[in-house]
């Protein structure tokens, strides 16, 4: 463990030397650019563009370009990039992750790589964690780029088509990651090329990259259509699920969240709904409702994962504690939770297109990112995205003290000590930020604070704007702020007058998060730009993390535990226990993301095939040619599939060939039942197939047909893709069911997924061919009648 850690730090040191040399170059250029007039400085943009076009490499232009951006920033914003910010910019330009603590000015850092990579004229996307920050950065940093003659766009939800297209046409486009992902999905549902808003991907800079690529990775982006849900079914399923017991009625895998019913569970369901065999295909929906009802019970906890407000289920972002406005779970899960809570059942979302944020960003030829906390996730960034994490030194030496944890025997003792500490700090005027891991915990915390009659700001379920407002006040004298760990991420906490003297902002953590990175984020709220500050975590041996992930270790530890009169654990080994447990949890979560990514890869490959086909249609590439290819492939497939070369001819299915072929061909023909080789069958059909192909060609100038073909193609591609997605979801749910066998569930999923897709794709081509040819024949008939 230690050796890996050492190695990675060393790499950073060596690389830093390389960057420092370039920074020297940039600093030397400063004198030259200071003397330029605004016009001369602006003209540099065109000069750079021309040099790139004539083949000069980016690294050769970068020092000059950085010097120009710095000079522009001085003139426009009055901010001069610190040397460490230049280093950060270099790391980003190369496509890596710059780890820079909060307050180091990452927003300004992004002005450098976005300028350099925008010079290539292919668009740069700057991704932020919320719309508020996107707008802020677009307005502020955008000034530098606009001054230098580049165009800057803002991409936010609900924008109309042309406005969005304009935003994407800009040299640099700001926006939230999810919106870029949704635009991708919507572009791939468009009926015409003119509706596309995105250009081919070039370069993306992701702010708070860990939050976007790691924390958000669990929820896929889904574009959904509405579908009436069966409320009665949901209610019965919910009532039943309430009485179900884990291990008796159902099995649930904590890691993969795979849920399945046991035989006992199935029997109960069959009784409750009065069906004989739940496994029958006709009861597939019922089974699905039941599984979702169980999942609504075991995975989703009220006031942690969601809240009930005005008769509605509102999802809570577990990292920010913020309500995810308008986000719903798909596939009937949302309705299952509604049934569990007895609120009205809403319409169900049916996925029409979906992608994970991870896979969306993997489509960019080059990615980079910045955050205060990436090093603990280094391996994942390297393996999944090919980005290295480089730690950038701070501009000023860090003055924050990270005090050792205080661990108490019970939760009650922990909160009591916490409240006492807050009161003491408050007494001398020091601002305190209490970080929690959930809304529920926040509420618990304030109950204890109430006993001291303390005044505090509670940041639960607030809008982004309110949150930013409250968090930005957290550094004022005497303020007490209670918020979930991630609330107001990206917001500057500026210290008020006299706060330095009382020790700066005191950050108090009330529970270790399942990921050390999130704890570091919380600590990082204090001590920006060399400010004074302190952080400390208050834990208890009754905390969820220990109970869930360190049962055995905890039992052993409890036997030898010594505490003082307040319940404070005195054994020094307690720190080891905390750290080990956190590592275990991180490992478990990492493998889960890895597992999900592998699952998603299966769909991802399929999506690429389908979208590529769709693109061809939308691009208006010769549709008759495409149709002919589909037809020929369909014919070949049905022949080889019905009469495989490695089967005895007596087992061949000639009637299937006949059926498919006669639906397509101009004149029906009997299949060559005496054939002994598959190739002979192919040969037999060559002539009628050629006739058909010629017939298709005869429509080359027929406007009606040429207009109709792409519509038919898109309609089949889309509707069948939605169905296929559903089938794949069922398959995914089902593999949990069969994992008891010898085979690895992942392998089953990959194999059967491929098989299902093969069938889907085949059916798609056949449906399109037969529909279009049918239409052509109809036109011919009409003409004959006339
Ligand atoms: P981070 O994202 O790294 O937490 P921000 O980008 O929010 O930091 O910047 C924190 C504050 O520092 C902002 O108020 C910003 O304007 C200021 N700042 C950043 N860089 C500079 C600089 N070079 N000179 C002066 N102020 C700066
Ligand atoms: Mg920031």
Q: 167-171, 394-398, 725-729: which has the minimum mean pLDDT?
A: 725-729
Asked if the model's pLDDT at residue 4 lies above 90, the reply is no
Is 104 annotated in some ligand binding site? Answer: yes
Angle formed at CA 656 by CA 654 and CA 657, multiple of 5 degrees: 65
- Comparing 113-117, 324-328, 381-385, the range with the smallest average pLDDT is 324-328
718 is in an annotated binding site: no
DSSP category for residue 437:
S
User: Quick one: tokens of 8?
Assistant: 């990675």
Tally of CB atoms within 10 A around 713: 25
The residue assigned the tokens 């959930």 is 438
pLDDT tens per residue, range 606-635: 999 999 999 999 988 788 999 999 999 999
Distance 528 CA to ligand 1 centre (A): 10
Q: Dump pLDDT digits (tens) for 181-219.
A: 999 999 999 888 899 999 999 999 999 999 889 887 666
Long-range contacts of 295-300 (CB under 8 A, 24+ apart): 295/257, 295/259, 295/333, 295/336, 296/238, 296/241, 296/333, 296/336, 296/337, 296/339, 296/340, 297/241, 297/242, 297/244, 297/340, 298/246, 298/252, 298/259, 299/257, 300/337, 300/340
Q: Which residue has the higher pLDDT, 110 or 384?
A: 110
pLDDT-based confidence at 594, cuts 50/70/90? confident
Q: Is 107 annotated as a binding residue?
A: yes
Quote the ligand 2 centre to 156 CA distance (angstroms). Answer: 18
Residue 742: what pLDDT?
67
Report the share of the chain in percent with pLDDT over 70.
94
In this prediction, residue 48 carries a pLDDT of 98
Q: How far is the CA of 102 from the centre of ligand 2 (A)?
A: 7
- Residue 371 to residue 369: CA distance in whole angstroms: 7
Can you tell me the distance from the alpha carbon of 649 to that of 672, in angstroms, rounded to the nearest whole number? 11
Q: Ligand 1 mean position to 153 CA, how many Å?
A: 22
C-alpha 288/C-alpha 785 separation (Å) is 52
The lowest-confidence range among 326-335, 352-361, 631-640, 660-669 is 326-335
Q: With pLDDT > 90 as the criterion, what percentage of the chain qualifies?
A: 57
- The whole-number average pLDDT for the span 44-64 is 97
Tokens found for residue 80: 């001069």
Read off the pLDDT of each residue in 70-79 and give the average, rounded to a whole number.
98
Is residue 106 lining ligand 1, measured as CB closer than 6 Å?
yes
All domains in the chain, ordered by first residue: 2-220+358-391 (3.40.50.300), 229-346 (3.90.1440.10), 399-577 (3.40.50.300), 620-785 (1.10.3060.10)
Length of the chain: 786
Q: Looking at the predicted structure, is the pLDDT value of residue 6 above 50?
A: no
Q: Which atom of ligand 1 is nearest to the CA of 492?
A: 7
Predicted pLDDT at 590 = 84
Q: What is the pLDDT of residue 3?
A: 40
The answer to whether the pTM exceeds 0.75 is yes
Residue 556 has pLDDT above 60, yes or no: yes
Q: Is the predicted pLDDT of residue 283 greater than 90, yes or no?
A: no
- What residues sit around ligand 2, an ion, with C-beta below 5 angstroms? 106, 490
What lies within 8 Å, CB to CB, of 266 at 6+ separation is 278, 279
Q: Which atom of ligand 1 is nearest to the CA of 104?
A: 3
Pick the residue with more confidence: 711 or 170?
170
Report how far residue 729's alpha carbon sits from residue 284's, in angstroms, rounded to the nearest whole number: 13
What DSSP string runs through 508-539?
Answer: EESS--SSHHHHHHHHTTS-GGG-EEEEEEEE
Nearest CA to ligand 1 atom 17: 105
105 lines ligand 1 (CB under 6 A): yes
Q: Which residues contact 601 (CB under 8 A, 6 or more apart)?
A: 359
Nearest Cα to Cα of residue 83 among 28, 30, 27: 27
Question: Ligand 1: which of 70, 107, 138, 471 to mutate, most ligand atoms within 8 Å of CB?
Answer: 107
Strands 259-261 and 250-252, sheet pairing: antiparallel
Q: Give 236's pLDDT tier (boundaries 50, 70, 90).
A: confident
CA-based radius of gyration for the chain: 31
**Rounded CA gap, 369 and 606, in Å?**
28
pLDDT of residue 327: 75
DSSP symbols for 5-17 = HHHHHHHHHHHHH
């Amino acid at each position: 463990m230690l050796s890996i850690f050492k190695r990675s730090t060393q790499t950073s040191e060596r690389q830093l030397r390389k960057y420092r040399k370039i920074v020297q170059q940039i600093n030397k250029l400063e004198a030259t650019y200071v003397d330029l007039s605004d016009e001369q400085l602006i003209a540099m943009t065109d000069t750079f563009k021309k040099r790139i076009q004539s083949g000069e490499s980016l690294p050769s232009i970068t020092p000059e370009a950085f010097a120009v951006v710095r000079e522009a920033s001085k003139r426009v914003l009055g901010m001069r990039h610190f040397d460490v910010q230049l280093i950060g910019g270099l790391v980003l330009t190369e496509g890596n992750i710059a780890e820079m603590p909060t307050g180091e000015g990452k927003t300004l850092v992004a002005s450098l790589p976005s300028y350099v990579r925008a010079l290539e004229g292919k668009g740069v996307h700057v991704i932020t964690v919320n719309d508020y920050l996107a707008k802020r950065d677009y307005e502020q940093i955008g000034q530098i780029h606009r001054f230098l003659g580049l165009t800057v766009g803002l991409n936010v939800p609900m924008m109309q088509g042309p406005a969005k297209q304009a935003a994407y046409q800009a040299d640099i486009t700001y926006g939230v990651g999810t919106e870029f992902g949704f635009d991708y999905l919507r572009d791939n549902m468009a009926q015409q090329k003119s509706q596309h808003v995105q250009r081919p991907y070039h370069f993306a800079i992701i702010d708070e990259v860990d939050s976007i690529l790691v924390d958000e990775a669990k929820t896929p982006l889904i574009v959904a259509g509405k579908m009436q849900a069966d409320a009665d079914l949901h209610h019965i399923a919910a009532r039943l699920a309430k009485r179900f017991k884990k291990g008796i009625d159902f099995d649930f895998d904590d890691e993969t969240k795979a849920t399945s019913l046991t035989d006992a569970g199935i029997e109960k369901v069959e009784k409750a709904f009065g069906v004989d065999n739940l496994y029958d295909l006709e009861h597939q929906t019922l089974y699905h409702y039941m599984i979702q009802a169980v999942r609504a019970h075991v995975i989703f906890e009220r006031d942690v994962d969601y809240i009930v407000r005005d008769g509605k289920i509102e999802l809570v972002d577990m990292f920010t504690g913020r309500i995810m406005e308008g986000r719903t779970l798909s596939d009937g899960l949302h309705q299952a939770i509604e049934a569990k809570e007895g609120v009205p059942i809403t319409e169900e979302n049916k996925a029409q297109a979906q992608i994970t944020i991870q896979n969306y960003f993997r489509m960019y030829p080059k990615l980079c990112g910045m955050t205060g906390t990436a090093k603990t996730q280094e391996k994942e960034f390297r393996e999944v995205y090919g980005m290295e994490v480089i730690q950038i030194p701070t501009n000023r030496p860090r003055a924050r003290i990270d005090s050792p944890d205080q661990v108490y025997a019970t939760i009650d003792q922990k909160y009591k000590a916490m409240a006492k500490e807050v009161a003491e700090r408050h007494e001398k005027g020091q601002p305190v930020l209490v970080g929690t891991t959930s809304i529920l915990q926040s509420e618990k915390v304030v109950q204890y604070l109430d006993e001291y009659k303390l005044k505090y700001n509670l940041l639960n379920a607030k809008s982004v704007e309110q949150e930013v407002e409250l968090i930005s006040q957290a550094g004022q004298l005497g303020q007490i702020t209670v918020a979930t760990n991630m609330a107001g991420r990206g917001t500057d906490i500026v210290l008020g007058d006299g706060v330095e003297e009382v020790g700066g902002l005191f950050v108090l953590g009330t529970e270790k998060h399942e990921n050390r990175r999130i704890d570091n984020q919380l600590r990082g709220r204090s001590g920006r730009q060399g400010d004074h500050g302190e952080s400390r975590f208050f834990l208890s041996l009754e905390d969820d993390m220990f109970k869930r992930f360190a049962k055995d270790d905890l039992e052993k530890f409890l036997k030898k535990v010594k505490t003082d009169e307040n319940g404070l654990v005195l054994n020094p080994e307690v720190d080891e226990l905390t750290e080990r447990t956190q590592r275990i949890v991180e490992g478990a979560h990492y493998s889960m993301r890895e597992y999900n990514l592998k699952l998603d890869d299966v769909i991802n490959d399929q999506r690429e095939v389908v979208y590529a086909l769709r693109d061809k249609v939308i691009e208006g590439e010769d549709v008759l040619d495409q149709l002919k290819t589909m037809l020929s492939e369909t014919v070949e497939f049905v022949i080889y599939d019905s009469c495989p070369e490695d089967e005895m001819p007596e087992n061949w299915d000639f009637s299937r060939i006949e059926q498919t072929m006669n639906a397509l061909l101009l004149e029906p023909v009997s299949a060559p039942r005496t054939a002994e080789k598959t190739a002979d069958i192919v040969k037999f059909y060559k002539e009628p197939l050629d006739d058909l192909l010629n017939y298709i060609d005869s429509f080359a100038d027929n406007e009606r047909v040429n207009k109709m073909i792409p519509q038919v193609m898109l309609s089949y591609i889309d509707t069948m893709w939605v169905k296929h997605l559903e089938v794949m979801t069922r398959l995914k749910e089902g593999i949990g069911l069969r994992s008891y066998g010898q085979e690895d569930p992942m392998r089953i999923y990959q194999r059967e997924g491929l098989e299902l897709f093969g069938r889907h794709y085949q059916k798609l081509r056949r449906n399109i061919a037969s529909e279009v040819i049918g239409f052509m024949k109809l036109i011919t008939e009409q003409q004959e009648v006339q």
